Amino acid sequence: MDQQHLNGLNNDLLLDIMGQLDDSDMTSAGCTCSTLLHVAHDQSLWRQLCHSTWPSTALNEAQHLLSSSSFGGFHNIYYKNECVLSKVFNGIPEAVNVYHTDNTGGNCDYETNPNYHQYDEDNSHCDIDDNERYGLPKTLSDYGKLRDNHYKELAKHLRLSWVLLDKKKGKAVNLSRWKPLLIRRSWIYNGNYEIHFGCIVPVEENILPHKLAKCIIYSYQLHAR
């Protein structure tokens, strides 16, 4: 009966048409009748919309996670802004912001570039004002003395906001757990701090490796100021 009503346009054709609408048009079309409502709830349409709105939802790891039942599909993700994750090392097509709590004007922008696999001095910068105030060392030789204290200080004060931007609507959602999960010195990177942040999206690491956002804050950059 519905097929006749729709002049023979089958679900695939309706999907083709609906897939070229934006969110409000698609939703509005879904309010016309039960057939179109069914089509308007098709996950593939919302997956497309999610991908175009939040590019990081198209990443393989994100796909894997989002397809799990706890999110209730792309339709819910789109409406509830429950997105998504990526690795900082792989670059997030959005924005990552590392900063100290309680500071005034001491924000530390951690710029990401999806084309780089690791940060280095060329594509990231990190300037935290007033290092000593937060117990950050002046030189590498201070590490030994200050280490324990550092870790605590860093854990206490460093926050990561890992933001997905909805460019169309100018909305943003923060994905990170804010507080670092782990701080350690990375000898590979000349004794810089390696700080791991979690994501608001629950992750089982044995299933999905590399789901932590990893930032390396270069001590020489900290000293530069």
CB 12 within 8 A of CB 18: no
For position 170 contacting another protein by CB under 8 A, the verdict is: no
Please identify, among the stretches 29-37, 96-104, 116-124, 206-214, the one whose residues bind another protein according to the rule CB under 8 A. 29-37
- Candidates 62, 119, 66; CA nearest to 96 is 119
Residues 33-52 that bind another protein (CB under 8 A): 33-37
- Cβ closest to another protein, residue 27 vs residue 43: 27
- Cβ closest to another protein, residue 77 vs residue 217: 77
Closest approach, Cβ 158 to another protein, in A, equals 37
How far apart are the C-alpha atoms of 15 and 127, rounded to whole Å?
Answer: 49
For position 6 contacting another protein by CB under 8 A, the verdict is: yes
Please identify, among the stretches 6-14, 84-92, 114-122, 134-142, the one whose residues bind another protein according to the rule CB under 8 A. 6-14
How far apart are the C-alpha atoms of 54 and 73, rounded to whole Å?
Answer: 15
For position 25 contacting another protein by CB under 8 A, the verdict is: yes
For position 11 contacting another protein by CB under 8 A, the verdict is: no
Helix or strand (DSSP H, E) at 156: helix 143-157
Interface size with another protein, residues (CB under 8 A): 29
Please identify, among the stretches 10-18, 53-61, 147-155, 195-203, the one whose residues bind another protein according to the rule CB under 8 A. 10-18
How far apart are the C-alpha atoms of 97 and 30, rounded to whole Å?
Answer: 38
**Which string of DSSP letters, residue by residue, matches 11-74?**
HHHHHHHHTTS-HHHHHHHHTS-HHHHHHHT-HHHHHHHHHHHSGGGGSHHHHHHHTSGGG-HH
Using CA atoms of 19, 20, 24, 28 in order, give the dihedral in degrees to the nearest 10.
-70
- Candidates 64, 12, 6, 63; CA nearest to 32 is 6
For position 16 contacting another protein by CB under 8 A, the verdict is: yes
For position 72 contacting another protein by CB under 8 A, the verdict is: no
For position 17 contacting another protein by CB under 8 A, the verdict is: yes
- Cβ closest to another protein, residue 5 vs residue 117: 5
- Which residues of the shown chain bind another protein in the complex (CB under 8 A)? 2, 5-9, 12-13, 16-25, 27-37
